[in-house]
Amino acid sequence: MRLQTLFEARWVLLFFALLTVAGAAFSAWLWWFFFLLFLFTVAFFRDPERMAPPDSNLIVAPADGTVMDIVELDESQVLKTRSRRVGIFLSIFDVHTNRAPISGRIIYRQHREGLCLDARRADCSEKNESMTWAFENPRVTIVVRQITGAIARRIVAWAQIGDELKKGERFGMIRFGSRTELYLPLNAEVLVKTGDHVLGGSTIMARLPD
C-alpha cells in the first residue's frame, strides 16, 4: 500500500476498526461484518504502481474505470476550443488515484462547488463538484477534470500549479465512486471505445500526430 493514499482513509479505517472491536462484544456476525468493511476500505485505497509508455506521442488514462462516452464539444474553462472529451466512470471497485496523462507542467488547477449527482448521469459534468487540471508540454495541453459522484464527496489534490509531473505520476484522487474526464485535441487519434475498461497511468487513450 502507498502510505500517502492510505492516509486519506485514516478516519474511515479508524471508524470501522472501532466498530469491529465493539461488534465483537455483541456477536461474531457483527465482528465479521465490520471487519469485512474495514478490509474493503483498505482494498478501495489500494494504489498499485503502473508503467507508462515512454513514447511522447501517447496519452494515457488519467484514471481507472469504464469509458462511458466519447463526445466532441467546446472546452470553455481552459482550452477555449473544440475538443474531444472521454468520460471515465470509476466504480467503488476501481482504483481511485488520478494520474498525469502526459509528462508536463501543471498550468491550471481550479475547484468548483456543485452537486453530487450519480457520476453516470450525462449532466453530472456540468452540475457536480469538480476539480479541473491542465497539463502542458511543448507538444500539447491536456485537460483533466475530476468529478464527484453520488457516493464520492471529496476530491483530493496532491499536486500544485507549477509542478512538473511525469506521465503516469499521481496528482490526486477522488474518494469512492466518481468520474474523470480527459479532454483531447481533435487531431489526436482516440484508441479506446465506449465500454472499454482502462487503467490509469498505463492504458493508452490516444496518439498525437507525428
User: Could you tell me which residues are beta bridge partners of residue 168?
Assistant: none
Strand order in the sheet with 97-99: 97-99, 170-174, 155-157
Round to whole Å and give the CA distance between 96 and 203.
Answer: 15
Q: Is residue 139 within 8 Å of residue 103, measured between CB atoms? A: no
- Out of 83, 125, 130, 178, pick the active-site residue: 178
Write the CB contacts of 79 (distance below 8 Å, at least 6 apart in sequence): 134, 141, 143, 183
Catalytic annotation present for 178: yes
Round to whole Å and give the CA distance between 141 and 118.
Answer: 29
| Catalytic (active-site) positions | 178
